Amino acid sequence: MSDQEALFFLGENISSGNYPGGKTLSTFEKLMKSEVLVFDESANIEPLIELREEFAELREKIEKTAWLIDQVVYQLYCLSDEEIEIIEGGIQ
């Protein structure tokens, strides 16, 4: 993975031109030059808490949807309980 891909993967779409040294810096060096947010007691982190709760709700909906899709596929292929356990990793 290139430095640019690694930074994009980390949630930062950073071009090499944004840092002194440009493409000569490693990903680690670029990250070390990045500012890190520090939250103290006066920081308003309520929006972050709300966002985390929204993500938790979305994750739960995705998991339920995936489970429902699995159930439909099992019915579509008329799988037995034993076959379903094998697929889900219950029997080795």
54/79 same-domain check? yes
56/26 same-domain check? no
83/51 same-domain check? yes
Q: Is residue 41 part of a domain?
A: no
52/21 same-domain check? no
Domain extent, residue 81, equals 46-87
The pLDDT of 20-26, averaged and rounded, is 60
Domain count, the chain: 2
Q: Is the pLDDT of residue 86 over 70?
A: yes
3-state secondary structure the chain: CCHHHHHHHCCCCCCHHHCCCHHHCCHHHHHHHCCCCCCCCCCCCHHHHHHHHHHHHHHHHHHHHHHHHHHHHHHHCCCCHHHHHHHCCCCC
**Could you tell me which residues come within 8 angstroms of residue 1 by beta carbon, excluding any fewer than 6 positions away?**
9
Report the share of the chain in percent with pLDDT over 90.
39
pTM confidence score: 0.48
Q: Is residue 38 part of a domain?
A: no
Residues 12-21 pLDDT 10s: 444 555 545 5
